[in-house]
Amino acid sequence: MDGKTFNRYIVVALFLWVVNIFGCTFTHGNLFLRDYAARRNINIGAAIMADYLEETEYTDIVVREFNLVVPENHLKWSYVHPEKDKYDFSAADKIIRFAQKNNLKVRGHALVWHKSLPKWLTPDCNDSEPNKVSYNKKELEDILEQHIKTVVTRYKGKIKYWDVVNEAFEGNDNSGELRRTFWYNILGKDYIEKAFIWAHEADKKAKLFINDFNIGERNLKSDALYEMIRDLKREGVPIHGVGFQFHLDTNKKPDFENIEANIKRFIGLGLEIQFTEIDVAICGEMTKEQLELQSEIYQGLINIALKYPQVTAFVTWGVTDKYSWLSRYAAEVLKSETFYGSGLLFDENYRKKPAYHAIQKSLNQ
């Protein structure tokens, strides 16, 4: 080797060394939620919509910050099964492709729900009114089995977790009664276990969840859910986890001790737990105090999640306040006259909120 070649080697080696130092500084200095979450062995996720995947600000955040996504709507019946003999997987496929390309896990949501049902199935699936139903029990059972098996099979190996049954219990009164839904009214309570069995037949490896709201603390609803799962598991029904939605707001600080004790008893049944639809709506004016309160609630939840390895995912119901479902929910369902919304970790301009930093801090401990 002559002197010149030797010098070149030295220059290249020095260059690589400097790049390496900068590389490390860069990555350590810019860790995102998913990096911290990986160290703590928990998935951090968000519900996403195919509609926004062309928007780079949106997708940049999704791929940088999260390692799990949930199609917010596109796997619901009315989207994926718009006519009796026709499925439309286009939007869901788009999300799955995006997830695969960016190394994101996927939660499927939801195989059985009483909302977002297509008109061909029931012209009126409203909770409070009797359903006008055109199918008898046997026919509806076949329809449900075929739907579950078709959708789960299509995404076999691609969707790791499924919400098989969503919101099976009565809504806000926490009576602990099974909800008198379209499915319940025709099929009886057995629709729940059958749905799990069919989903399992279609993908033996998928983890199957029952998902609901107002079950975070001990109450009649979470008691009833607990007892039902205990019995189903005794019978050998393939149910692997509980999804706690956690749609919360700053008007009511959750009782974290109560939530933790409640989660522990579900873990005691040998279940995996995921926090599946977190948002913490700001009530009234968006003040610094409100943002702080929101942040404390997020932090209380993540701290519980991090305490138990059986809690395997922490998922926010959306990415940015810009596209959150909360404003429509506040207007149409709550008929709220004051502001109710901005429940996510990123504001309408994709800026990180105090809640983001609180989550980051907990993940980094």
Query: What are the distances in angstroms from CA 347 to CA 2, 130, 246, 255, 318?
Result: 60, 40, 19, 26, 11
Query: What's the CA gap between 49 and 278, in Å, rounded?
Result: 16
CB of 325 to ligand XIL, least distance (A): 3
| Binding-site member from 65, 72, 141, 193 for ligand XIL (CB under 6 A) | 72
User: Quick one: which of 36, 325, 340, 356 contacts ligand XIL (CB under 6 A)?
Assistant: 325
Binding mask 101-140 for ligand XIL (x = CB under 6 A): ----------------------------------------
DSSP state of 156: T
Among 122, 131, 166, 327, binds ligand XIL (CB under 6 A): 166
Indicate the residue type of 186: I
Q: Is residue 171 within 8 Å of residue 179, measured between CB atoms? A: yes
Number of residue whose CB is nearest ligand XIL:
325
Q: Does 327 bind ligand XIL (CB under 6 A)?
A: no
Q: Which DSSP letter does residue 34 get?
A: H
**Residue 262 sits in the site that holds ligand XIL (CB under 6 A):** no
Across 303-354, where does the E strand assignment appear? 311-316, 340-341
**Helix or strand or coil: residue 355?**
helix
Q: Which residue in 157, 140, 149 sits closest to 87, CA to CA?
A: 149
Q: What number of other Cβ atoms are within 10 A of residue 345's Cβ?
A: 29
Q: Least Å distance between CB 9 and ligand XIL?
A: 58
Using CA atoms, how far apart are residues 152 and 350, in angstroms rounded to an integer?
33
Q: Smaller CB distance to ligand XIL: residue 247 or 265? A: 247
Which residue's CB is nearer to ligand XIL, number 135 or number 184? 184
* Catalytic residue list contains 167: yes
- Side chain identity at 351, as an amino acid letter? R
Within 10 angstroms of residue 49's Cβ, the number of other Cβ atoms is: 18
Residues in the chain, how many? 365
Nearest to 282 by CA among 315, 329, 326: 326
> Which C-beta is closer to ligand XIL: that of 148 or that of 363?
148
Considering CB under 6 A, how many residues would be counted as binding ligand XIL? 6
Range 231-250, binding ligand XIL (CB under 6 A): 245
Task: Restricting to residues 7-66, name those near ligand XIL by CB under 6 A.
Answer: none
Pick between residue 317 and residue 356 the one whose CB is nearest to ligand XIL: 317
Rounded to 5°, the CA angle 137-141-142 comes to: 120
Residue 78 or 303 with smaller CB distance to ligand XIL: 78
Select 116 or 303, whichever has its Cβ closest to ligand XIL: 116
- Determine the angle formed by the axes of helices 288-307 and 256-267, rounding to 10 degrees: 30
- Distance, CA of 106 to CA of 99 (rounded, Å): 7
Residue 54 a catalytic site member: no
Q: Tell me the CA end-to-end span of the chain in Å, nearest whole number.
A: 51
The minimum distance between CB 103 and ligand XIL, in angstroms, equals 25
Residues 283-322 that bind ligand XIL (CB under 6 A): none
Smallest distance, ligand XIL to C-beta of residue 306, A? 24
Nearest-approach distance from CB 167 to ligand XIL, in angstroms: 6
Q: Minimal distance in Å, beta carbon 50 to ligand XIL?
A: 12
Task: Name the catalytic one among 141, 167, 170, 217.
Answer: 167
Q: Which is nearer to ligand XIL, 92 or 358 (CB)?
A: 92
Kindly name the residue from 170, 193, 277, 296 that is annotated as catalytic. 277
**Footprint of ligand XIL on this chain (CB under 6 A)?**
72-73, 166, 245, 277, 325
Residues with a catalytic annotation lie at 167, 277
